Amino acid sequence: MTLSVWLSLFLVSLLGAMSPGPSLAMVTKHSLAGGRVNGIATAWAHAMGIAVYAFLTVIGLSIVLHKAEWLFKGISIIGALYLAYLGWRSLQSKGGVAAKLQQGNKVPVLQSAKEGLLISLLNPKIALFFMALFSQFISLGHDWTSRAIVIITPCIVDGCWYTIITLLLSSAAVTEKLRSKAVLIDRLSGIVLLGLAVRVVATL
């Protein structure tokens, strides 16, 4: 893989990571509710999910997923239900950002990592992203080194981007400013997640 091709891959990966959606909402939530360690755990667990999709794309299973419409719809529905569940829980503010910030409690790191991984694996937009954009990079490099780069690059870019977001959000000054807005953050997070769930179902 040439440098110019890799730079294109890097840019596509970065734009994908920067796209606002449920992933950003999830990293923000755990960065505020649990702190820096939780945010980083969420970020890199999410990146592992990205690596799974990249791997599936490289070995060609994305083609099978694309042709098996029922399978894609099934994943989409499961993802929508998970988004709706997270959104409803945020609206209730039971164990969410508001409760954790106001009570000074910490979210378990394992829970942050689990939710980061699931929000990645159950997001059908990520599957479409890889099928639509990454096929060009796979066709340009058939050797295993190039394929490994196609898998590793989006994983590292995603993890690093959300780590930066975590570092910005988990500073003491930012946390104190957001503490008084904790309930509002929960409500807005819930509305966004429910809206994304509805949109996923509507586009099936």
* Secondary structure of the chain as H, E, C letters: CCHHHHHHHHHHHHHHHHCCCHHHHHHHHHHHHHCHHHHHHHHHHHHHHHHHHHHHHHCCHHHHHHHCHHHHHHHHHHHHHHHHHHHHHHHHCCCCHHHHHHHCCCCCHHHHHHHHHHHHHCCHHHHHHHHHHHHHHHHHCCCHHHHHHHHHHHHHHHHHHHHHHHHHHCCHHHHHHHHCCHHHHHHHHHHHHHHHHHHHHHCC
Contact predicate 186/91, CB 8 Å: yes
- Of 46, 1, 41, which is closest to residue 21 (Cα–Cα)? 46
Quote the pLDDT of residue 106. Answer: 66
Give the mean pLDDT of 88-110.
64
- What's phi and psi for 33, nearest 5 deg? -80, -35
Give the mean pLDDT of 187-198.
76
Report the chain's mean pLDDT, rounded to a whole number.
77
Whether this model's pTM surpasses 0.75: no
- Of 14, 2, 5, which is closest to residue 155 (Cα–Cα)? 14
For residue 21, is pLDDT > 90? no
Where is average pLDDT lowest: 16-20, 67-71, 103-107, 149-153? 103-107
